[in-house]
Chains A and B, each alone.
Chain A
Amino acid sequence: MIRTTAKKIYIALIFVFLYAPIATLMVLSFNASRTRAKWGGFTTKWYFSLFENREIMQALWNTLLIAFISSFIAVIIGTVACIAINNMPKRSRAVLMGVTNIPMLNADIVTGISLMLLFISLGFKFGLGTILLAHITFNIPYVILCVMPRMKQISPSTFEAALDLGASPVRAFFKVVFPDIMPGVLSGFLMAFTMSLDDFIITHFTKGAGVDTLSTKIYTEVKKGIKPEMYALSTIIFITVLLLLFLVNKAPKEKS
């Protein structure tokens, strides 16, 4: 009994730690004063002015678009790569996995700068396209790391059996292999999406004029004082996700 209480307290403490700053941000979104240093009374005006702020809305749109497309493409490339890597000889597999780890382990700033150098030397026009390429690049490793363990658990014989029974390789993959690695693919997608959403440094170096994501917008604001609309937007995002999370969790459990 004491044990379970202690466990609950421990978890509760960690949750307070994780969510205290978020609560702070939410409170700040109702602060009537433009600076975070002073409490100017309760207001909801930022929630209205937010929607009139063209720049923030555009940044939100860009952020979600980039996160969605980049993680989608990363999932496709990453999953296909996993199939291939899984069947590779040990040595080339180790080399490729090592390369895969680089963008994840390298300092963001180095990844960002090196990609910027690359895009300049290739003569790319900086904009949404370059950000997308960069995000796909650092998203693929997360997908591979999520899918790979699942892939290993699948016995190759099922796939071969499907082939023997006359299924085309593509059909065999979608009927036999894919359902098994589905959870890994989904968590890879989720991870990639979150990473893309949260990235600032790499975006900063690969973005073009006038293309802002929420992160880069916030960074320019950090120095000048964050606009209260930004707190309001973060609160909306957080509440949206949280609500949906609980709704789905309460919904009847699905079979799988």
Chain B
Amino acid sequence: MKNSKSSQRLLSSPYIAWAVIFIIVPLCMVFYYGLTDKTGAFTFENIAAIMSAEHAKALWLSLGLSLISTVICFFIAYPLAMILANMNVNQHSFIVLIFILPMWMNFLLRTLAWQTLLEKTGVINNVLSFLHLPSLNIINTPYAIVLGMVYNFLPFMVLPLYNSLVKIDPNVINAAKDLGANNVQTFFKITFPLSIPGIISGITMVFIPALTTFVISNLLGGSKILLIGNVIEESFTQAGNWHLGSGLSIVLMIFIIVNMVASAIFDKDGEGSAL
């Protein structure tokens, strides 16, 4: 017993060392920058900056848009994941790969391609005008940003949902039906509750990146819509104000902590999000 404990310590030490050096220490540096000003004196100013009109507005807008995107992703992905989960069992990895495959085309290129599709004189509008349909004017609006978010993060919703649905033992569902439950009841009493870990990790994997994105709002929103990600990015790259950028990042981490707590509550066995 003693032997296995020490060998465990041996096994975990490389990762713990790695995590301390490359995750914890850098994080501490962000906290250090966020809690000091240019002279190095301690201050809460950079964190309180979130209350200023522009920052608060950017945060609300980001929260709103990423929430909408997450909800849309969920309602698109859940039926899809159910259909896929009921398909031929031999095809599992194939299905997963089909959703990962678009990611082999660079993220920036894909988002830029949406610009080509959505523009006033873009592909979609050319097709619409050819069919004598009214044109679609969503480029440079929040709608285009939501579309970009849904597009980019949909696979992150589909995959965990699919994984958790595939794991459900068909016998459980059959048993429920044998006991007289109809389809709706089976879904709400069996399928849905069993897929909650997948839902949680799906929501996390969509909501958090959507909350912090700045590329999508730049490319599809015409930089007219300032999201909190843009504010942070600009304070690092354009204004050169690392203290403010770090301070605002600390604020964003609150959402990550909230999320961790939520996962801990719903995912009691700590099974993690199986991708």
Contact = CB atoms under 8 A, between A and B. Distances in A.
A and B touch in the complex (CB under 8 A): yes
Interface of A: 7, 10-11, 14, 17-22, 24-25, 28, 36, 77-78, 80-81, 83-85, 87-88, 90, 93-94, 96-103, 105-111, 113-115, 117-118, 121, 133-134, 136-137, 140, 142, 144-146, 148-149, 152, 169, 187, 190-191, 194, 197-198, 200, 214-215, 218-219, 222, 226, 230-231, 234, 237-238, 241-242, 245, 249, 253
Given A145-B273, A198-B106, A245-B101, 15 more contacts: A14-B154, A17-B151, A21-B113, A21-B117, A22-B110, A22-B113, A24-B116, A36-B112, A88-B12, A97-B270, A109-B214, A114-B27, A115-B22, A117-B26, A136-B18
A75 to B, nearest CB: 12
B245 interface: yes
A148 B275 CA distance: 10
Interface in B87-105: 90, 93-94, 96-97, 99-105
Interface in B71-93: 76, 79-80, 83-84, 90, 93
Most buried by A among B16, B27, B106, B116: B106
SS class, residues of chain A in contact with chain B: helix
11 contacts: A21-B102, A21-B110, A28-B116, A81-B15, A94-B270, A99-B23, A101-B260, A110-B232, A140-B15, A191-B275, A230-B109
Instruction: Say what secondary structure dominates the interface of chain B.
Output: helix
B105 A238 contact: yes
B259 interface: yes
B242 interface: yes
A19 B22 CA distance: 36
Nearest to B12: A84
A79 B270 CA distance: 17
B24 interface: yes
A24 B117 contact: yes
A153 B152 CA distance: 32
A107 B12 contact: no
A24 B123 contact: yes
A80 B15 contact: yes
A145 B229 contact: no
Contacts of A222: 108, 112, 219
Contacts of B9: 84
A118 B117 contact: no
Contact of B107 (A18, A134, A198): A198
Nearest to B4: A87
Contacts of A215: 106-108
B274 interface: yes
A135 B208 CA distance: 19
A155 to B, nearest CB: 15
B108 A148 contact: no
Contacts of A115: 22, 26
Given A80-B14, A84-B15, A108 B212 contact: yes
Contact of A237 (B83, B100, B104, B253): B104
Contacts of A200: 106-108, 215
Interface string B1-32: 00010011101101110110111111101100
Contacts of B106: 198, 200, 214-215, 218, 234
A103 B114 contact: no
Contacts of A133: 22
B8 A87 contact: yes
Contacts of B151: 17-18, 21
Given A17-B151, A106-B256, A110-B249, A194 B103 contact: yes
Contact of B11 (A17, A83, A241, A249): A83
A113 B214 CA distance: 15
Given A20-B117, A25-B109, A241 B104 contact: yes
A136 B23 CA distance: 11
Contact of B15 (A7, A78, A198): A78
Given A11-B83, A118-B22, A219-B108, A190 B99 contact: no
Interface in B238-275: 242, 245-246, 249, 252-253, 256, 259-260, 264, 269-275
A118 B270 contact: no
Contacts of B252: 107, 110
Given A7-B83, A14-B80, A108-B212, A102 B27 contact: yes
B217 interface: no
Contacts of A36: 112, 116
Name the 6 nearest CB pairs between A and B, nearest first: A84-B12, A114-B26, A81-B15, A107-B212, A21-B113, A84-B11
Contact of A84 (B8, B97, B116): B8
B145 to A, nearest CB: 15
Contacts of A113: 30, 236, 242, 245-246
